Structure 1
Amino acid sequence: MTKRWRGAAVGTAAVGLVVVPLGVSAGYAWDMSATPASVTRTAVQPSATAEQPSPPASDEFAPLTPAVARQLDAAIRKVMKDAHVPGVIVSLSAPGKGTYERSFGVADKATGAPMTPNLNMRIGSETKTFTVTALLELVDAGKVGLDDPIGKYVSGVPNGDRITLRQLAEMRSGLFNYSEDPGFFKALTSNPRRPFTPRELLAYSFKHPVMFAPGAKFYYCNTNLILLGLVVEKASGDKLADYIQHNVIEPAGLHHTLFPTGAEFPKPHAQGYTNQTASGKTQDAADWNPSWGWAAGAMISDRDDLRTWAKVLATGTLLTPATQAQRLKVLDADNIPDSGYGLGIFNVEGWIGHNGSLPGYQSLTVYLPGPQATLVVLLNTDITYQGSEPSTLFGQAITKTVTPKHVFDLPAQPVTGH
C-alpha cells in the first residue's frame, strides 16, 4: 500500500502500499561501501558459465549470466546509495534463464548485522493479495458473490447498498481512506505500538463523505480491504488470520508467512527505519503494531515464501480458472500509465503482483507470465527518495537490466498532506 503523507500537498509514491499519514524529514545518509559484511551473495546460477554481454532488448528476459549479475549488483548498489537504503534482499529467476539472489547492506544499523536472505520482513500491502485470495476462495465456495453489496455483510457503510465487493477489491468504492484522516495520523504517531480494531479504522473513514459514485474511478484505499477482511470473517465464521493461515498460507506451501494478531515479529528479522513519525525524525519501527493495517497491510513473510507466492498469485493455483480470470481483469488505474488494477492485484508493464509499504519496510513481489519470471525485493526502510518509493526504484533498475520491454514503474501520485 502506499501514499504517504509529506506534511503538505506533495508527491507520494507508488499506489499500492500501506497508506500512512505522516510528516517526513530529510532522511539520513548511510555508507553503503562494499565490504564483506555489506553484501551477502547467496546464489548466482547463470545459464552459461562463460562471460556474456547483455542480450539485445528484443530478448524478453536476459539470461542471468555472471556479466548480467554484475550489472544487477551495480544497479542495486546505486539505488541503495542514492536512496539511503540500509539493506535489501533481492531474488530474481526464470526457468532456463538462471537465478540471481543477493542480500546487500545491513539489517541493523546499530549493530551492523548484515542483511541475510532468511530474514522475516513486514510486507505491507502485499497483505491485500492474501485477503482478496481468501475472499475469492469464498466466491468459489458459493459463500459470497463479487457483486453482492457490502451492506449485506457489514452495517453502517456509506453507500453500503450500492458498493459491491468487486468494487472494493478493484479500489473503486468511493469511500474515504481512513489512513488519510488527521485523527488517525495523530493516534498512530502518538503511540505506534497501540492496537487498532477494524471498526476503529472504519470509523476514521466513515465520518467523511463518500468521494465519488461506486465504480466511477480508481482510488487506492485501505478502507476497502478492511471491509473485505470483515466479509471473510462473516462468511467463513473464522478470524481473518485463521482463515488465511489455513486456506491460503498452508495450501500455497508457505512456511514463514503469518498474519500477526499483535506486534509479534518472529526472529530473525531486520530492523526497519522510517521517518513517518510525529517528529519527522527517523526511528526504528520494528516493534510497532501493524494492526492499523490489518487486512490491508499487517502481514509478515520472507524471500523464499514470496518467491513461491508470486507464481501462486499470478497463476491462480488456489482458485478456479474462471475466478482467477476475473481477478486478472485489470482496469485502468487512472494516473498510473501502462498499468492496471484487478481484484487486489496490479499489472504493471506485464508484471503481475503487488508492492507493500508500512513504516520501516517495503516489498515488491511480481511475476512476468511470458518467461515465467519472478522478482522479489525486500528492504528495511520506507523513506522516499525524490518522491519515489525505494521499492519502485529497485524494481525499475532490475527490470531495465533484464526485461527492457517490461520495465516495472509505479510513478509518484499526489495526495493532500496533513
Structure 2
Amino acid sequence: MSPTSLRLRRGAMAALLTTAFLVPLTAGATPSTAPSAPATGTPSPSASGPDVRPLSPDVARRLDASVQRVMREAHVPGVTVGVWTPGQPDYVRSFGVADKASGRRMAPDLYLRIGSETKTFTVTALLQLVDQGKVGLDDTIDRYVGGVPNGDRITLRQLAGMRSGLFNYSEDDHFFKALTSDPQRPFTPEQLLDYSFTHPVLFQPGQKFSYSNTNLILLGLVVEKESGRPLGEYIERHILDPAGMKDTLFPKGAEFPAPHAQGYTDQTANGEIAETAGWNPSWGWAAGAMISTLDDLRVWAPTVATGELPDGRRMISAATQRQRLVTPATPIRGAGYGLGIFDVQGWIGHNGSLPGYESLTVYLPATRTTLVVLLNTDIGYRGEEPSTLFGRAVTEIISPRHVFDLPAEPTVR
C-alpha cells in the first residue's frame, strides 16, 4: 500500500468479531486466525447480579450519561440506542447530530447503512434454501460457482462460518485504490471475487477462523443461482416481508431513502474526513450493502437469534437454527462465531461497519433483551470500533454478567 494511503479497518469482531465489514488494519495484511474450539460465551466468573437490570429511571440516567461520555471521547457526531426487554420500560434515545453541516439532529426514525449486518440476511436466505432441500450446508462451493480456489473442498458451512481460508477481497491493495479513488463506482460480485482469487489461500478449509467478505459474496451467488431471483429481491420477498421489516432494503446502487443520516469516515485515499451518504455500497453486496432503521432492527434481533418470526412462524426450521447457533470459539475470549452470526458473552447477533456508518444488533436470549446501536461514523477511537464502545458502555450497566466486550486490535499503519 502506498505511504499516502491510510488504513481501512478489517471487519471481523474487533480483532476478529467486530464484523466492521470493511478492510484490514493495513490493506493486504493477513487476518488473525486460530483453530476452532468449543463454543464460549459464558459470563465472567466474577460477574454478579441479575442477567439484565430493571430499566429504572436511575438506570436510564446512567445509560444517558454513559452513551454521551462515549460520544464525547470518540468524537461521534450522532448515535441512536435502543434497549427493549419484555415487561420493562423501553429505552430509546438519540444524541448528537445526523448532519454536521446543517445541525439536523439525530433521530430514531432515520435510515442508516448497516454494513456487515447484511451477512445475517444473506446467510438466513441460504439456510431457507437448506430447509427447502435446494442446497446442503456440506455441499462444496464448486457445485454452484466455478473458479474458486479449493472450491472442491470448501463447503457452504465453512463459508458461512468464516473458515474457508479464502483471501478477503477487501484487503487487496488494488481494491483499496479502486474504492477510494471513486467511491461512487459500482462493483459486480465477479469483480469482487477477482480481487480475492489473485491471492493464494490462507489455509486449508476448516483449519482456522478468518473473517472474509469473499465468503459472503459466494453465498450470495449461491442464493441467486438456486432461488432464481436476484439476492435483494429474494431477501425482500422471503425475509423482510414475512418479518414486517418495511424500512429495510438491499439497494441496487447508491440510493438511500430519506430521512437518513450523513456518514463520516477517514477511510479515504488522502486520510481526510469525508461525507459518505452518497457512496455506492455495491462493493459490499451480500456482505455489507443493506440499509435499515432502529425499529426494523429491533424486530430482526430476536428473529435472527431464534429463527422465529414475530407472529410465531419459523423463519428457518428449528433444526437448521440449531446448526446456525453452533458458535465455535474464536481468538477473542468469550466470543464465538456460527453461521453468519456471533455470540459475545451471551449476546447473539452481528454488528457492521462501512465508510461513515456503524451498527450493532444483538439479542440476549436469557432475558429476551434486544440492543440496537446505530451511528454515523466508523472512525475508530484508540483502535476500537465505535459500535463496540457503545455496546460495552450499555451492557456494563444493563447486563453486567453479559458485557459485550471485544478487545481492540492494535492499530497498524
Aligned to 1:15: 18
Given the alignment of the two structures, is residue 325 of structure 1 paired with residue 322 of structure 2, yes or no?
Answer: yes
Distance 1:239 1:415 in 2: 38
Distance 2:6 2:183 in 1: 18
1:276-297 Cα offsets, whole Å, 9 max, x none, are 0000000000000000000000
Instruction: Tell me if structure 2 keeps the 8 A contact 1:163–1:173.
Output: yes
- What does 1:177-188 correspond to in 2, within 5 Å? 177-188=168-179
Aligned to 1:296: 287
Aligned to 2:389: 393
Aligned to 1:409: 405
Gaps of 5+ in 2: 28-46, 309-314
Q: By how many angstroms is 1:19 displaced?
A: 1.6
Structure 2 counterpart of 1:81, which letter? Answer: R
Instruction: Tell me if structure 2 keeps the 8 A contact 1:146–1:166.
Output: yes
Aligned to 1:39: none
Mark the CA change 1:8 to 1:308 in structure 2 (over 3 Å): closer, same or farther: closer
1:318-359 Cα offsets, whole Å, 9 max, x none, are 0100000000010111x2110100000000000000000000
Distance 2:118 2:305 in 1: 15
- What does 1:9-408 correspond to in 2, within 5 Å? 14-20=17-23, 57-317=48-308, 318-333=315-330, 335-408=331-404
Distance 1:315 1:186 in 2: 40
Structure 2 counterpart of 1:365, which letter? Answer: T
Mark the CA change 1:415 to 1:205 in structure 2 (over 3 Å): closer, same or farther: farther
Distance 1:387 1:415 in 2: 5
Mark the CA change 1:303 to 1:210 in structure 2 (over 3 Å): closer, same or farther: same
SS at structure 2 position matched to 1:194: coil
Instruction: Tell me if structure 1 keeps the 8 A contact 2:112–2:291.
Output: yes
Distance 1:190 1:344 in 2: 30
Gaps of 5+ in 1: 25-55
Distance 1:265 1:136 in 2: 28
| Seq. identity, % | 65
Q: By how many angstroms is 1:397 displaced?
A: 0.3
Distance 2:409 2:318 in 1: 33
Distance 2:141 2:92 in 1: 42
Q: By how many angstroms is 1:412 displaced?
A: 2.3
SS at structure 1 position matched to 2:80: strand
Instruction: Tell me if structure 2 keeps the 8 A contact 1:23–1:280.
Output: no
Mark the CA change 1:193 to 1:21 in structure 2 (over 3 Å): closer, same or farther: farther
Mark the CA change 1:192 to 1:22 in structure 2 (over 3 Å): closer, same or farther: farther
Mark the CA change 1:9 to 1:295 in structure 2 (over 3 Å): closer, same or farther: closer
Q: By how many angstroms is 1:72 displaced?
A: 0.1
Structure 2 counterpart of 1:17, which letter? Answer: A
Structure 2 counterpart of 1:249, which letter? Answer: L
More strand per residue: 1 or 2? 1
Distance 1:346 1:381 in 2: 22
Distance 2:183 2:106 in 1: 25
Q: By how many angstroms is 1:413 displaced?
A: 3.5
1:122-156 Cα offsets, whole Å, 9 max, x none, are 00000000000000000000000000000000000
Q: By how many angstroms is 1:8 displaced?
A: 10
Structure 2 counterpart of 1:338, which letter? Answer: G
Distance 1:214 1:279 in 2: 37
SS at structure 1 position matched to 2:186: coil
Distance 2:266 2:80 in 1: 21
Q: By how many angstroms is 1:23 displaced?
A: 7.7
Q: By how many angstroms is 1:255 displaced?
A: 1.1
Distance 1:294 1:63 in 2: 39
Structure 1 counterpart of 2:392, which letter? Answer: Q
Q: By how many angstroms is 1:253 displaced?
A: 1.2
Q: By how many angstroms is 1:15 displaced?
A: 3.2
Distance 2:10 2:114 in 1: 24
**Aligned length, in residue pairs:** 381
Structure 2 counterpart of 1:350, which letter? Answer: G
SS at structure 2 position matched to 1:331: coil
SS at structure 2 position matched to 1:80: helix
Instruction: Tell me if structure 2 keeps the 8 A contact 1:143–1:235.
Output: yes
Distance 2:370 2:88 in 1: 11
Instruction: Tell me if structure 1 keeps the 8 A contact 2:6–2:268.
Output: no
With the length of structure 1 as denominator, give the TM-score of the two structures: 0.88
Instruction: Tell me if structure 1 keeps the 8 A contact 2:9–2:20.
Output: no
With the length of structure 2 as denominator, give the TM-score of the two structures: 0.89
